[in-house]
Structure 1
Amino acid sequence: MTIITANTHKLPAPPCHLGEGPSYDVSTDTAFWFDITGKTLWEHRFETGEIISHDLPVMASVLARVDDDRQLMAAEDGIYLRMRSTGALSLLTPMEADNPGNRSNDGRVHPSGKLWIGTMGKNAEWQAGTIYIFDGQDLKPIVRKVTIPNSICFSPDGRTGYYSDTAINTVWRIPLDPQTGMPIGEPEIFLQEPSLPLGGHYDGSVVDANGVLWNAAWGGGSVSGFAPDGSLVGTYELQAAQTSCPCFVGKKLDKMLVTSAWQGYSDAQRAADPGAGFTYMIDGGFKGLADSSFKLLQEARA
């Protein structure tokens, strides 16, 4: 087992019930993440140290940059444009709005500018979720019958996509058209349960500039890196058992922000895991990639 020693610390933000969906806007040196069930978007401005909370009218889980003024936000009932200055939301398209038992979960923008976004049952009902691709106009299903969709991320060249179903502790990879982000072949298993060095389940992931997939292990209190051939690069241990999702941050993209959660804990379990729900920073000297911005197809057609 390769446990990597690095400086880690908590950000001075309150703990999240279900911390998820971290992203980083390199142009403004700002990180964002959600407390999904708490209906809150958190913002951390690294230059000033400010941490700001934004109340939301819905459960939301994914945020992506569109331009200097707008962001894309995936939520339980649809995909929205968010005005960064005011927080105002405008619906781009409904997403399973006729199924109030489902909500959005993990997602990420492909290098082509298209969004991959997963849905799931609010109580993790068996195979109730779907993974979609969204281009600003059309929302197309690409993977059906997923229970807890996670680990949505892409190789640096956009030719490989990854996704997991945390419920069955498996990560798949699938060949993609790098120009469109659409699958052009069948998925194959990339990682399964024995690969996690500290146990737990595959939750959120992000890929670095070398093609290493860094996965947060729900129940494993760690983030582990896996090379494109599936071999373990190393593991960072964190002081929260339910680590949920990583993203690269910092002007050099050499640090990692990791969300966590205390969802599902009894009072005794929460007392035994006092770091649960906090958001962590790992100064690991990573070779990260910037999050891709979302490209609105409808504007391209105009």
Structure 2
Amino acid sequence: MIFDPRLCELGEGPLWHPIREQMFWFDINNQKLLSQDRDGPREWRFPEIVSAAGWISEDVLLIAGERDLFLFDLETEEVETLCLLEQDKPKNRPNDGRADPQGGFWIGTMAKDEAVGAGAIYRYYRGELRKLYSDITVPNAICFPPGGTFAHFSDTVTHKVMKVTLDADGWPNAAPEVFLDLTAEGLYPDGAVIDAAGVMWLAQWGASRVAAYDANGAFLRSIPVDAPQTTCPAFAGPQLTALIVTSARKNLDAEALRIAPNSGATFVIEGLTQGQREHQVII
């Protein structure tokens, strides 16, 4: 079922704001933040690529842009730089990101032309931005099981989703281990979210689906989506029982778009399970 019919070139970063009860997501290639609330659709265009967000207060989002992590006031549209991000790498852009249970914010970067190993994964926490992992090509699947003791992330081109233990402040304190290896199936992990029971819901680029895996990495089920390039899921709604899924239409030729004309739309799947509340970013 379509949640929002606006067709994104590269939809990404869905975020349910638990105070505003409002859905946000991005069209990366068109430099837009989109929203859907009780009053209908809204959108904001930025002078640079934006890709992911976390909520700070009722009116303020933290947004990842090409040059910085910045604060954006939804009512006044005022922008304030929080910290710089790869200003020395103009060929890079942000990609997947999500707030963690400790109030930090993880964000991945990558080359605009997807050059191998050009990106990285960072974490912002209480005034400090620290690079966690280098040599990343397409960062994705940043998500956090309940309890705050683990984090997941992926470099999509490796076909693997990783798992790493965290200390009490949310910093990785061990080497990452492979959580899912999808190489044999030829599947590409994209964005992911973990529900209240600890199940990972993983968008799989090119597979027209979101797949569920338990806390041990065992496959549970897949949910078809009417777009081949699913990008990221997020739980939404007052009871967090709606799974919102963004998608993309980039690089699809005319025949592919004829077969899947809803590519780039944002979808909703109701009644699967209950999600976790999106964590607040503490600055």
Q: Decide: shared fold, TM above 0.5.
A: yes
The C-alpha deviation readout for 1:123-162, integer Å capped at 9, x for no partner, is 1110111100102422101111110000001111010100
- 1:7-156 equivalences under 5 Å are 9-45=1-37, 48=38, 50-156=40-146
The C-alpha deviation readout for 1:235-276, integer Å capped at 9, x for no partner, is 110100000000000100011000000111222322232121
Residues 92, 136 of structure 1: 8 Å contact kept: no
Match of 1:203 in 2: 190
Match of 1:275 in 2: 262
Residues 159, 183 of structure 2: 8 Å contact kept: no
Q: One-letter code of the match for 1:34?
A: F
Instruction: Give the TM-score of the pair, scaled to structure 1.
Output: 0.91
Question: Following the alignment from structure 2 to structure 1, what is the Cα–Cα distance between the partners of residues 67 and 126?
Answer: 16
Q: One-letter code of the match for 1:210?
A: A
The C-alpha deviation readout for 1:61-118, integer Å capped at 9, x for no partner, is 1111101231100111110011120222111111111211000000111100001110
3-state SS of 1:256 partner:
strand
Question: Following the alignment from structure 1 to structure 2, what is the Cα–Cα distance between the partners of residues 74 and 143?
Answer: 17
Question: Following the alignment from structure 1 to structure 2, what is the Cα–Cα distance between the partners of residues 272 and 24?
Answer: 30
Question: Following the alignment from structure 1 to structure 2, what is the Cα–Cα distance between the partners of residues 27 and 164?
Answer: 29
Question: Following the alignment from structure 1 to structure 2, what is the Cα–Cα distance between the partners of residues 285 and 218?
Answer: 21
Relative to structure 1, the CA distance from residue 133 to residue 232 in structure 2 (aligned partners, 3 Å threshold; closer, same or farther) is same
Question: Following the alignment from structure 2 to structure 1, what is the Cα–Cα distance between the partners of residues 69 and 129?
Answer: 10
Match of 2:157 in 1: 167
Following superposition, the deviation at residue 49 of structure 1 comes to 5.3
Relative to structure 1, the CA distance from residue 195 to residue 176 in structure 2 (aligned partners, 3 Å threshold; closer, same or farther) is farther
Question: Following the alignment from structure 1 to structure 2, what is the Cα–Cα distance between the partners of residues 287 and 40?
Answer: 28
Q: Report sequence identity in percent.
A: 34
The root-mean-square deviation of aligned C-alpha atoms, in Å, is 1.3
- 1:248-263 equivalences under 5 Å are 248-263=235-250
3-state SS of 2:4 partner:
coil
Residues 254, 287 of structure 1: 8 Å contact kept: yes
Following superposition, the deviation at residue 187 of structure 1 comes to 0.6
Q: Which residue among 171, 191, 203 is the counterpart of 1:182?
A: 171
Q: One-letter code of the match for 2:153?
A: Y
Question: Following the alignment from structure 2 to structure 1, what is the Cα–Cα distance between the partners of residues 256 and 81?
Answer: 39
Q: Which residue among 270, 273, 277 is the counterpart of 1:286?
A: 273
Relative to structure 1, the CA distance from residue 184 to residue 275 in structure 2 (aligned partners, 3 Å threshold; closer, same or farther) is same
The runs of at least 4 aligned residues of structure 1 exceeding 3 Å deviation read none
The C-alpha deviation readout for 1:278-297, integer Å capped at 9, x for no partner, is 0000003312101101001x
Residues 153, 205 of structure 1: 8 Å contact kept: yes
Q: One-letter code of the match for 2:22?
A: T
3-state SS of 1:11 partner:
strand
Question: Following the alignment from structure 2 to structure 1, what is the Cα–Cα distance between the partners of residues 235 and 183?
Answer: 26
Question: Following the alignment from structure 2 to structure 1, what is the Cα–Cα distance between the partners of residues 184 and 241?
Answer: 25
Relative to structure 1, the CA distance from residue 195 to residue 285 in structure 2 (aligned partners, 3 Å threshold; closer, same or farther) is farther
Q: Which residue among 161, 176, 182 is the counterpart of 1:193?
A: 182
3-state SS of 1:235 partner:
strand
Unmatched 5+ stretches in structure 1 = 1-8, 297-302
3-state SS of 1:265 partner:
coil
Question: Following the alignment from structure 1 to structure 2, what is the Cα–Cα distance between the partners of residues 52 and 84?
Answer: 11
3-state SS of 1:205 partner:
strand
Deviates more, 1:241-250 or 1:266-275: 266-275
